[in-house]
């Protein structure tokens, strides 16, 4: 009797294992992008961001800010405090992003005006602080907003990657398609190409450095290269801390006006 | 002059010491601002060199800010002032700020409806940057925070009026008197005592989908009412003399403002009811030719971004309640503002057009402006201030059309 039970259990385990392996092997584009979206990020993250803007002449402009992000279930709250250059020091920007699909809430505090102003979140195609990243590029685009197709699997920097093409369901979206290289072992995007409305390659995003911090994969250095304008932006995160318990009061008008 | 130079030298010494020994962060700017009138003989309307320095240090529980500035003019005395100087104490749910501070309220831009706490510096009309138009007020401010709710109370022991241009300034407002008046400043001062102190309160909410404020104040209106005493020649029964007595009156103000995003639009609104204001009247039965009337002041505005151009339009109305014939002001005064702003070359170049349009007098102030970031922290700005019309708030300065340039280095 015991042998029969062992046999049945072994068979069940084999079936489950085989099925599971098969399901991974047969992941489609949408499933891959959902896994990327679902990557655990921790309840909160904080760090310092340095953005280096490089034009086609090689001239550099540097912007620095402190950033705090907190996931409050259905809302992701982000606040940024600009520290450099001198003429934007003290400016803060706050964004509340909703899982429900509700439009983001955004505010900006300008120290010269001493007033927190609500701004429209509609301009997601605007470039963030003159960089090559649009506000949308910096956000967490939900996979349901695009149709996804697994194009192929290939090696990038000795990493096995899925290559997924994502086409927006909204025809007015600023990109006609994006192609993303996603590492098979951890579902971190390693590279992404953005194509303009005419289908031509516009920008390339490359991840240069990522680490596990406090058990969560965290991207530490990225580069966005606008190949049409020959302009690039390098984003480097430092002093990154995950799950330090950022208080809810960090994401309020009080915090914006204090600049910290 | 020697004393002022000494003050500046001492200031430089303090900067050096604080920065070196106390590790107090120092920032600020140096700016040259040169404006020339377009009307011949093309007088310079302003040549101003500014040094504005800001010391600010903060810990978890306390902070201070000290922000003096120096304006140097070619045709006026050196001006040394204090934009802000205050101390902060931070507690778990509330903050206290004591000292000279700028306090800004409301959602309107370029107009002052519920934004009544900080007095205005109108010595160059509405042309300076808004952070320079609003001056600091010595006060105690207490903020209590509960989630997205903020309760604020301000007590100002001393009244600070609007700073008006000198009589010989090109920005001195037009005052149309039938004879050359005699000025009586006997009531133009508010004694600094407890009874004359001012109090303001605000509740604000900033949350998902909308923000709003409810405000109130019991204070002296920042602009004086002109009380007139006429002298009549008994022989001819003609006006032989006129005495003008500026007087600041206490008013009670209640109002609020809101800001709501709808799709790609942001709707803004702000309104206030004033009780206790005085308006000039021609009614001979009114003593001093100044009559007390309540009034409403409100605005509605829209912000929208179209093709990367930030657009904003506001409609503002001032309405005198229980209006009577003879009052100089119109029963309703309508103004609009319009803003269009766009950046080019990755925020290196900004082009902006801001306009006030007075609908009652068909006058306007058109302000095109171009700002170029020559290097990080160093901007070059060129622009024009064009006044249209021949009367009204803007038309009265029709002769003052000007072009200007500002060079500013922020550190």
pLDDT of A7 > 70? The answer is no
pLDDT of B8 > 70? The answer is no
Cβ distance B95 to A254 less than 8 Å, yes or no, reads yes
Please check whether residue B218 lies inside any domain of the structure.
no
DSSP state of B17: H
**Which run of H or E residues covers position A192?**
strand A189-195
Handedness of CA A127, A129, A132, A136 (dihedral sign): negative
Any long-range contacts for A196-199 (C-beta under 8 Å, 24+ apart)? A196/A228
Reported in sequence order, the residue ranges of B109-210 that DSSP labels E, i.e. its strands, are 123-126, 137-146, 149-156, 182-183, 198-206
Please list every residue in chain A whose beta carbon sits closer than 8 Å to the beta carbon of residue B265: 120, 122
Q: Is B76 on the interface with A (CB under 8 A)?
A: no
pLDDT of A14 > 80? The answer is no
Q: What is the pLDDT of residues B335-359, one digit of tens each?
A: 999 999 999 988 899 999 999 999 9
Question: Which residues between 170 and 199 in chain B have a beta carbon less than 8 angstroms from any beta carbon of chain A?
Answer: none
Q: What is the pLDDT of residues B178-221, one digit of tens each?
A: 788 888 898 888 999 999 999 999 999 998 889 999 999 999 99
Please list every residue in chain A whose beta carbon sits closer than 8 Å to the beta carbon of residue B261: 103, 105, 118, 120-121
The pLDDT > 70 percentage for chain B reads: 95
pLDDT of residue A87: 84
Q: What is the pLDDT of residues A169-189, one digit of tens each?
A: 988 889 999 999 999 999 999
Mean pLDDT for the stretch of residues B365-383:
95
Please check whether residue B249 lies inside any domain of the structure.
no
Boundaries of domain holding B407: 345-411
pLDDT of residue B30: 97
Please check whether residue B400 lies inside any domain of the structure.
yes
Cβ distance B130 to A254 less than 8 Å, yes or no, reads no
Cβ burial, residue B254 (10 Å; 0-12/13-18/19+): middle
The pLDDT > 90 percentage for chain A reads: 60
d(CA B117, CA B134): 9
Please check whether residue B208 lies inside any domain of the structure.
no
Nearest CA in chain A to B92: A249
Q: Are A242 and A42 in contact (CB under 8 A)?
A: yes
Residues A71-102 as b/e (b if ≥16 CB within 10 A, e otherwise) read beeebbbbbbbbbebbbbbbbbbbbbbeeeee
Cβ atoms within 10 A of the Cβ of B71, count?
A: 19
Q: Is B329 on the interface with A (CB under 8 A)?
A: no
- Closest C-alpha to B339, from B290, B297, B303: B303
pLDDT of residue A17: 42
Cβ distance A86 to B145 less than 8 Å, yes or no, reads no
Q: Smallest CA–CA separation between B395 and chain A, in Å?
A: 27
Q: Is B211 on the interface with A (CB under 8 A)?
A: yes
- Closest C-alpha to B299, from B103, B105, B109: B109
pLDDT of residue B168: 87
DSSP state of B165: P
Please check whether residue B352 lies inside any domain of the structure.
yes
DSSP state of B306: E
- Closest C-alpha to B212, from B262, B254, B260, B145: B260
Q: Is B263 on the interface with A (CB under 8 A)?
A: yes
d(CA B342, CA B302): 17
Q: Is B6 on the interface with A (CB under 8 A)?
A: no
Pairing assessment for the beta strands A75-84 and B44-58 based on DSSP bridges: unpaired
A244 DSSP β-pair partners: none
Cβ distance A55 to B343 less than 8 Å, yes or no, reads no
Provide the number of structural domains found in chain B. 1
Please check whether residue B272 lies inside any domain of the structure.
no
Cβ distance B264 to A249 less than 8 Å, yes or no, reads no
d(CA A146, CA A29): 10
Q: What is the pLDDT of residues B257-270, one digit of tens each?
A: 999 998 889 999 99
Q: Is B84 on the interface with A (CB under 8 A)?
A: no
Cβ distance A130 to B343 less than 8 Å, yes or no, reads yes
Q: Is B264 on the interface with A (CB under 8 A)?
A: yes
pLDDT band for position B20 (50/70/90)? Answer: low
pLDDT of residue B180: 84
Which domains does chain A possess? 30-71+124-245 (2.50.20.10)
d(CA B295, CA B284): 22
pLDDT of residue A22: 42
Nearest CB to A113: which of B29, B131, B147? Answer: B131
Please list every residue in chain A whose beta carbon sits closer than 8 Å to the beta carbon of residue B102: 114
Cβ distance A114 to B143 less than 8 Å, yes or no, reads no
Please check whether residue B407 lies inside any domain of the structure.
yes
Pairing assessment for the beta strands B238-247 and B182-183 based on DSSP bridges: parallel
Q: What is the 3-state secondary structure (H, E, C) of B246-271?
A: EECCEEEEEEEEEEEEECCEEEEEEE
d(CA A43, CA A39): 12
Please check whether residue B383 lies inside any domain of the structure.
yes
């Amino acid at each position: 009797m015991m042998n029969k039970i062992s046999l049945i259990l072994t068979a069940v385990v084999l079936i489950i294992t085989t099925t599971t392996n098969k399901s991974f092997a047969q992941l489609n584009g949408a499933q891959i992008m959902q896994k990327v979206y679902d990557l655990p990020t921790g309840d909160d993250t904080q760090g310092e961001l340095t953005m280096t803007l490089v034009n086609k002449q090689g001239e550099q402009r540097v912007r620095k800010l402190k950033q705090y992000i907190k996931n409050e279930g259905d809302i992701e709250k982000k606040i940024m405090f600009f520290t450099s250059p001198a003429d934007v020091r003290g400016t803060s920007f706050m964004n509340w992003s909703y899982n429900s699909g509700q439009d983001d809430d955004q505010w900006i505090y300008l120290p010269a005006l001493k007033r927190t102003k609500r701004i429209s979140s509609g301009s997601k195609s605007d470039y963030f602080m003159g960089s090559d990243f649009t506000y949308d590029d910096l956000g967490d685009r939900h996979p349901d907003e695009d149709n996804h197709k697994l194009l192929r699997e290939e090696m990038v920097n000795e990493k096995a990657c899925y290559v997924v093409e994502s086409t927006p369901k909204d025809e007015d979206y600023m990109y006609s398609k994006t192609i993303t290289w996603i590492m098979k072992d951890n579902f971190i995007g390693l590279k992404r190409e953005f194509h303009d409305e005419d289908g031509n390659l516009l920008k390339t995003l490359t991840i240069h450095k990522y680490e596990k911090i406090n058990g969560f994969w965290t991207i530490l250095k990225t580069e966005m290269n606008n190949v049409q304008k020959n302009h690039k932006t390098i984003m480097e995160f430092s002093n990154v801390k995950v799950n330090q318990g950022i208080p809810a009061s960090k994401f309020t008008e009080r915090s914006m006006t204090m600049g910290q | 002059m020697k004393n002022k130079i000494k003050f500046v030298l001492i200031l430089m010494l303090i900067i050096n010491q604080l920065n070196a020994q106390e590790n107090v962060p120092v920032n600020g700017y140096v700016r040259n601002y040169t404006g020339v009138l377009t009307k011949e003989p093309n007088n310079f309307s302003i040549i101003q060199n500014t040094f504005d320095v800001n010391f600010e240090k903060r810990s978890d529980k306390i902070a201070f800010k000290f922000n003096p500035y120096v304006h140097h003019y070619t045709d006026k005395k050196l001006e040394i002032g204090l934009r802000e100087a205050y101390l902060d104490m931070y507690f778990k749910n509330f903050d206290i700020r004591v000292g000279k501070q700028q306090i800004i309220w409301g959602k309107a831009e370029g107009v002052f409806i519920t934004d009544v706490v900080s007095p205005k510096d109108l010595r160059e009309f509405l042309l300076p940057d808004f952070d320079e138009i609003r001056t600091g007020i010595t006060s105690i401010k207490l903020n209590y925070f509960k989630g997205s709710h903020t309760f604020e109370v301000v007590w100002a022991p001393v009244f600070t009026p609007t700073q008006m241009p000198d009589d010989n300034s090109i920005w001195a407002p037009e005052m149309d008197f039938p004879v050359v008046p005699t000025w009586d400043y006997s009531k133009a001062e508010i004694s600094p005592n407890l009874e004359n102190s001012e109090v303001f309160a605000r509740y604000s909410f900033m949350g998902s989908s909308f923000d709003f404020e409810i405000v109130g104040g019991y204070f002296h209106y920042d602009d004086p009412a002109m009380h007139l005493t006429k002298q009549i020649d008994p022989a001819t029964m003609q006006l032989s003399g006129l005495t003008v007595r500026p007087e600041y009156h206490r008013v009670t103000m209640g109002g609020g403002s809101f800001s709501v995003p709808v799709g790609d639009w942001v709707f803004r609104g702000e309104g206030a009811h004033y009780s206790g204001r005085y308006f000039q009247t021609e009614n001979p039965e009114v003593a001093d030719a100044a009559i007390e009337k309540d009034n409403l002041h409100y605005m509605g505005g829209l912000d929208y971004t179209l093709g990367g151009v930030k657009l904003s339009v506001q409609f503002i109305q001032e309405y005198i309640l229980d209006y009577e014939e003879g009052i100089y002001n119109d029963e309703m005064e309508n103004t609009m503002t319009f803003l269009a702003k766009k950046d080019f070359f990755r925020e290196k170049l900004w082009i902006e057009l801001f306009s006030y349009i007075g609908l009652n007098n068909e006058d306007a102030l058109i302000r095109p402006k171009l700002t170029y970031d020559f290097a990080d922290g160093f901007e070059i700005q060129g622009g024009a201030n064009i006044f249209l019309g021949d009367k009204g708030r803007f038309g009265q300065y029709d002769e003052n059309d000007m072009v200007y340039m500002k060079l500013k280095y922020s550190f």
